[in-house]
Structures are given as structure tokens and as C-alpha cells.
Chain A
Amino acid sequence: MSSTALADGTATSSAGWWRRNQRQLAPWLFIAPGAFMFLIYVIIPIFESIWISFYDWDGIGAATWIGLANYVELWSDYAFYTSLYNNVLWLVFYMLAVPFGLFVALFLNQTVVGIRLYKSLFFFPFVISQVVVGLVFAWFYDPSFGLLNLVLGWFGLGPVAILADDRFVTYGIIAAGLWPQTAYCMILYLTGLNAVDPEQIEAGRLDGAKGWRMLWFIVLPQLRPATFIAVVVTVIGALRSFDLVSIMTDGGPYGSSRVLAFYMYEQALGEYGFRMGYGAAIAVVLFLIMMIYISGFLWHMWRAERDGR
């Protein structure tokens, strides 16, 4: 650093000033455009939302400060608890995408003719829009002609109207979500399996490890980075679930498939009126839940950074 600065030390023109200080200024100039956009559209809105959650506001007229009233209302709002409970179901059952993805990846981790094509076709569901996934599955579950009830009929069961039955509806939507999410986890694990050390596998084989024991004690520890990312994206996906609920059931029947993300949208922009403040309060709760995971992720990254130096 000092060599260039010394060489230009005698220059007093503005170009010389720039030359001497560019190493200090350059990072800020490089960051400025991205940071500006990010600040305006992401960071500031987070604080604005928190602020709005203390108001009663229809989005157009004047906003009235009501303190914690929105949160007090949430406390005894049955629909809020339904949404929260459904979010917990999403978190728990969406996680199945991780072992499913691992299973599919292990199944496809072979070198036979055409395996590359198989891998990419298996990945297909992740590439298409959730709108398409939702429409397809809504149709798959249809009680009168859907494939599910056709198959159930062969066994003398059904018909079950999955999406119209408040006992099954959330599970039905989660199952639809598992389809693309499993594909995502699969690709993470396939990449991870590529990096597994063959010598350790051989050593394990010599020691008589095989099957489950090999997977559990030798392969899985090496797949930890893939597992970590798979869990992170699946948790975020579960808490962000909105598209499928909106498309498959619109929150119904009778609001029984709502999740927090959907309930918030419904309160703030839905047909029941523009309750921006109340919607913002729901968003804040969702945000706080998400912050637990975000903090965990950042902590993990920070440790990696510290050890990397």
C-alpha cells in the first residue's frame, strides 16, 4: 500500500489526491449504489413496518397512534393462532424435504448412461413457478376427477376433498410444497456427494461399515455443509409459504389453511379491508420468528469468517 502512496506523495493535483486516497474511498463508492437501493427498499421498510404496527391505518386516510392495541388484539385473535399453528406445521413437515432430498440424491448418485438427464429431470419441479405447482396439485387433489382419489378408489377408499377439509388442507398444501423443495435439497446433496472423500469411504468399507452405518458415521458428517444450507433454505421457505396457500385454497376452508404470511396479506390488502397497522403487527411477529433463524445463520457465517482468517 505505502509504496504507491509514497511514489505519488509529491503530486498535489486533485488526481494525486484521488490516487493517494482511493484505497480508502473505493470500497464506499463500490458499495454506494447497491447499498442505497437496499436501504430504500429493504432496511428502511423493516423499521417503517414496525412503526406502522403501532397505528390504526387504512392505507389512505390519517393514521391514528394506538400503541400496542394491534398486538393486544393479536393476543386474542383466533385466526392468528390458526395461522401460527399452521406455520409450525409447515416448519415441521416441510423439513421432510431434507431427508427426502438426501434419499433421492443417494438414489441418483450413480454413473450409468443418461444419469445426467435423469438428475436434471428430477430437478424440474424446482424450476417451475409455485403458481403452476399449486394449480397442478389443486387438480391432483380434486375430489371428483383428481388422480389421488382415483388411486384411493382402487383401494375402496375416498373420495376425500383434501383442500375442502380443514383436517387435511394444510398437510395437502405442504405436500405440494415438498415436491419442489425436495428437488432443491436433492441438488444440494448431489453436489455435496461429489465432494465426499472416496478414501474415507474405502477406509470405512475396510472396517466393515456399510449401508446405514456408513451413511450415518462417514457420509453424513462430510455432507454437513449441504445439510446446513438445505435446512436454512427449507426453514425460510416454510416461513415464507404464501404462494401455494394463496393459489390452492386462498386460506380456506374458513381460514383453516392460513399461514402468517397469508393472513398478513389478507388483513392489509385482502377483501376484508385495508388494516395496514394490524397487518404490519402480524408481519412483525413473523419477522421476529424469522430473526431467530437469521441470527443463527449469521452466527454460523461469522464463525466461518473468523476461522477462515
Chain B
Amino acid sequence: MFPRPIQSRPPTMRGLYQVALPISLIVWLIPLLAVAVTSIRGQADIAAGNYWGWPSSFNAVQNYTAIFTQTELGAFIANSFIITIPTVIGAVALSCLTGFAFAVYRFKGNLLIFFLFIAGNFVPFQILMVPVRDLTLHLGLYDTHLGLVLFHVAFQTGFCTLFMRNFIKSLPFELIEAARVEGVSELKIFWFVVVPLMRPAIAALSVLIFTFIWNDYFWATVLTQGAGAMPVTAGLYSLNGQWIAQWHLVSAGAIVAAIPPVLMFFLMQKHFIAGLTLGAVK
């Protein structure tokens, strides 16, 4: 193990490490802690510039009620869910199919098409922006949930395919061979042999894509404009413009917007990290 385990160091070092851990964590998370504290401050603190001291009053209930009753934040959050969940299902489903094809079959153009998926996944969004916005307008899907979902599904399929293909490649190929010898059809092999083994990959991708899409800001600004379909990232930014110097409300909104991906991460941590690294560090 590197660095040398702290247990084998002198006691002073061990003590120092135990102290350094919480301190470094607090310093690392100071920006977030400040937001959390500010979200329960009263108007008086904000007016007096008391951003870093102890709150003079605790207004958690008022602030968090205010952002839902006085603004469209609730609608933005709902939009984020309506966009994110179908995208996760769509991208994972499509990439199960493509990943299976690239991993299991040897056919002409296999690597070429696969590399096209990977390359497409890395292009800057701006090269897609004008045509995708145009296409969405022509389909009558501008400023709708479906417009965003379709684009996200298509784009995320690139990354998901890379991930799924590598995952299926790491499965024992003998399973598929054996099923073929038994005369099982390719579709049934996919559905009854491979898909059940893909559960960890499906879980990992789902959490990862959920976080990516939930946090998307660029496409939200390009493909939506009102509270009708706008997700919470773009919504929060527009609210920030309305709530000038109302930092307690902005903070409360930021906390609410951050909760779903954070929860997702904590509940599915193992899968999340596997997702971040397995597609990459093998």
C-alpha cells in the first residue's frame, strides 16, 4: 500500500492525521457549508452582510417554503425529473443493444462504428448546437420535455455504448458459445444470458447518467425557455437574476437542486464509482 499505512507510523503522526482529516474536509467543503448555513439565515443577516458568522435567526422553514410558494422552483424540479428519468431509461436501453453488438459480434465495420460512437461522445456541444436546435424547432419539440429527452438519449448513447461494450467484453464468452451450441437464438441469448449479467453495469450507468443529465445546463438553455420545460439548473440561474441580493433564497434553491444527485450518489455510491472508473480505468 502506498503511502505507508498510518498505523505503522509513530503515534504523533497518527494523531496528526486524525486531526488533519476533519480539518481538511471542512476547508474543502467550506463553500457548500456556507451555502447550507446561508439557506437558513433571515433577511436581517443578509442585509447586515453577516454571511460567515453565526446566524442571528434560523429561518429554515420560512426560506424553504418561500422558494416553493413564491417561485416556480417546484415546476423546475418536476421538469428535471420528467427529463432525467426517461433519458436514463432510453440511453441505458439503447446502449445495452449497441454494447452487446460491438462486444459479441465480429462484423465488418465493428471497430469503425464503435469509434464513431466514442468520438461523437467527446465533441464540443457547440458544434451540435445550431443544427440540433433547428431540428428540435422543426419537429415542434422546442421548449418541451421530449425535445431535451431525445437529444440527451442520443448523445449519452455514445458514452453508454463505450461502457456497456467494455463491460460485456469482460464477461466470459463461453456462456454465449454454450448457448449457441444449444441452438438458442441470438435475441434470447441477449435477453436471457447477457442482460441478467449486466445488472451492475446498468445500475452504474443509470446513476451516472442521472447525475449528468440532472446537472446539464447548456442544453437546457439552448432547447427550453420558460418554466414549462426548463429544468432546475437553468431555472436556478434565471431565479438568481430575479432574486437580487436575496442570497438566503438562492442558497435554499441551490441546496434543493443539489439534493437529488447527492442522494443518488450516497445511495448508490458503489455503483456510481464503478461507473466513473470501469468505463475508463479497467
A interface list, Cβ under 8 A from B: 1, 3-4, 7, 19, 22-24, 26-28, 30-31, 33-35, 37-38, 40-46, 48-49, 52, 59, 106-107, 109-112, 118, 120-125, 127-133, 135-137, 139-140, 144-147, 150, 179, 184, 187-188, 191-193, 196, 198, 201, 210, 214-215, 218-219, 225-226, 229, 233, 236, 239-240, 242-243, 246-247, 260-261, 264-265, 268-269, 276, 279-280, 282-284, 286-287, 290, 293-294, 297-298, 301-302, 305
Q: Is the CB of A109 within 8 A of B1?
A: yes
Q: Is the CB of B273 within 8 A of A191?
A: yes
Q: Is the CB of B262 within 8 A of A124?
A: yes
Q: Is the CB of B122 within 8 A of A49?
A: no
B interface list, Cβ under 8 A from A: 1-7, 17-18, 21, 24-25, 28-32, 34-35, 49, 51-52, 94-95, 97-98, 100-102, 104-105, 107, 110-111, 113, 115-120, 122-135, 150-151, 153-155, 157-158, 161, 180-181, 183, 185-187, 190, 211, 214-215, 217-218, 221-222, 233-234, 236-237, 240, 247, 250, 254, 257-258, 261-262, 264-266, 269, 273, 276-277, 280-282
Q: Is the CB of A305 within 8 A of B98?
A: no
Q: Is the CB of B154 within 8 A of A191?
A: no
Q: Is the CB of A128 within 8 A of B222?
A: no
Q: Is the CB of B120 within 8 A of A43?
A: yes
Complex CA gap A190/B42 in Å reads 41
Q: Is the CB of A201 within 8 A of B281?
A: no
Which of chain B's residues have a CB closer than 8 A to the CB of A122?
25, 28
Partner of A27 from the list B107, B133, B281 (CB cut-off 8 Å) is B107
Complex CA gap A123/B105 in Å reads 38
Q: Is the CB of B215 within 8 A of A240?
A: no
Complex CA gap A120/B268 in Å reads 11
Interface of A is mostly: helix
Q: Is the CB of A188 within 8 A of B280?
A: yes
Which of chain B's residues have a CB closer than 8 A to the CB of A226?
281
Q: Is the CB of A41 within 8 A of B111?
A: no
Smallest beta-carbon distance A219→chain B, Å: 5
Smallest beta-carbon distance B56→chain A, Å: 15
Given the known A-B contacts A188-B277, A226-B281, are A136 and B155 also in contact in the complex, defined by CB atoms under 8 Å? no
15 A-B pairs with C-beta separation under 8 A: A28-B101, A33-B94, A42-B120, A46-B123, A118-B25, A122-B25, A128-B32, A128-B258, A132-B254, A139-B247, A187-B277, A261-B124, A268-B129, A268-B130, A294-B123
Q: Is the CB of B181 within 8 A of A132?
A: no
Given the known A-B contacts A30-B190, A136-B34, are A294 and B183 also in contact in the complex, defined by CB atoms under 8 Å? no
Q: Is the CB of A247 within 8 A of B237?
A: yes
Q: Is the CB of A118 within 8 A of B111?
A: no
Complex CA gap A112/B280 in Å reads 28
Q: Is the CB of B258 within 8 A of A129?
A: yes
Partner of B1 from the list A24, A30, A201, A276 (CB cut-off 8 Å) is A201
Q: Is the CB of A46 within 8 A of B127?
A: yes
Given the known A-B contacts A110-B6, A131-B257, are A290 and B124 also in contact in the complex, defined by CB atoms under 8 Å? yes
Which of chain A's residues have a CB closer than 8 A to the CB of B117?
34, 38
Which of chain A's residues have a CB closer than 8 A to the CB of B154?
37-38, 40-42
Given the known A-B contacts A35-B113, A132-B236, are A187 and B124 also in contact in the complex, defined by CB atoms under 8 Å? no
Partner of A298 from the list B49, B101, B118, B151 (CB cut-off 8 Å) is B118
Complex CA gap A230/B1 in Å reads 21
Of chain B, the residue at the smallest CB distance from A204 is B2
